[in-house]
Structure 1
Amino acid sequence: MEINKYSKIITQDDSLPAAQAMLYGIGLNEKDMRKAQVGIASTGFEGNPCNMHLNILAQQIKKNVLKSNLVGLIFNTIGVSDGITNGTKGMTYSLISREIIADSIETIVNAQFYDGLISVVGCDKNMPGAMIAIGRLNRPSILVYGGTIKSGRYKDKSLNIVSAFEAYGQKIKGKISEEEYKGIIKNSIP
C-alpha cells in the first residue's frame, strides 16, 4: 500500500522539476522523495501562555515522524487568545481566527501535497479551527492538544485566568487593595 498518495504527485513527476528542486533545497534527499510527507501545523507563538510551548512540541513530534520513516514538515498558523483580547476590540478577531486557522491549514496541506497532518494546538479557537481543516482534508490526521495552562498561587490560594477577572470586580467594589489586585493578576498564570 502506498502512503505517499499525494506527495508523489510532486516528488515523482519528472515534469515538475522546480517542485523537486525546492524540496531538495529544504534538505530532502532522493530517499526522502519516495516517503510520505506529513505536515505538522503549529499554532505556537510567544504572545500567549496557552501557545508559547507549541513550537517546541511540534519539533518533538517532527523527530518522531522522522523516526517513523516519514518526512515531517512544520508550518505555522495563527492563534488568537480570548484571554488577552476579552473585553477589547481584539475580541472581534477571535471567531474569525477559527476560520483562518482552518483555511490556512487546508491551504498548506493541499498546496504542498502532504499525505497526512498533525495539528498542534492550544487554547480557544485553535482546536475547532484545526478540526474543521481535518474534516475538510479527509486524510490521515492527528490533533495534539498542548495542554492547559498551569494554575497559579498567591497567598496560599489556587488561581487561574478567571481569578484575574474576579479580582478586577473585587477591586472596583473596594473589596481588595491595589496591591492585592496586582498580586492576583501577576500570579494567576505562572
Structure 2
Amino acid sequence: MEGTSSKKRKRENSSIIWNYFFEEYDEEEQQLYLACQICKNNNVIKRYKWSKSASTSTAQGHIWRDHKIDKDHPEEPEPTNGDIRDTIKHITIKHQSCLEESLITFIILDCQPLNILRNNAFWNMLHKFEPGFRIPTEEKCKKMKYDSYNWTKDQLQELLKSSANSINFTTDM
C-alpha cells in the first residue's frame, strides 16, 4: 500500500459531553479528571476520573441526570422550583449565543489564552455580570475562534479581490 502513513489519525471528540466538560489534571493525585462546567458555574465541584481511552457514558449520565441535557435537547434550561430568583438565572439561547460571541471577541482582540476559562476569578466576574451565562468549554471556544478566523479571512480576501490595486507590507525587525 504505497502512500499510506503508519500514523493514526486522531478522532474528533464527537460526544455532547465536550460541550459541558473539560479535562483537569490533579498534580497531587496524578490523575486526569473530567470536570462539569455547569456544576462549576454553580460553585459545585463535580468531576470524574478519566483516561483518554475511557468511555464518556458516566459524564453523559451526569448531564442527563443532573442537568436534563441530552444530545437531542442540548439547550433546554433546567426546570426550576418556582422561585423567581432561580428563574431569572436562566437566559435565552439567543442571549447565551450573544454572550459567547462577546467572550470570543474579547479573547481574540485581547490576545487572551483559552485557559482564562479555567480562572475562578474570571468565572466569578462573568457570573456577577450575568448569573445565567453558561461559560463555554475550551473545545467550544476553540471551534468558535477557528470559525471567526475563517470568516475574517474570507472577508479580507473578498475585500482585497474587489478593491485592492496594490498592497504594502511593513515589518519591524
TM-score greater than 0.5 by the shorter chain: no
Q: TM-score, structure 2 length as denominator?
A: 0.28
TM-score by length of 1: 0.27
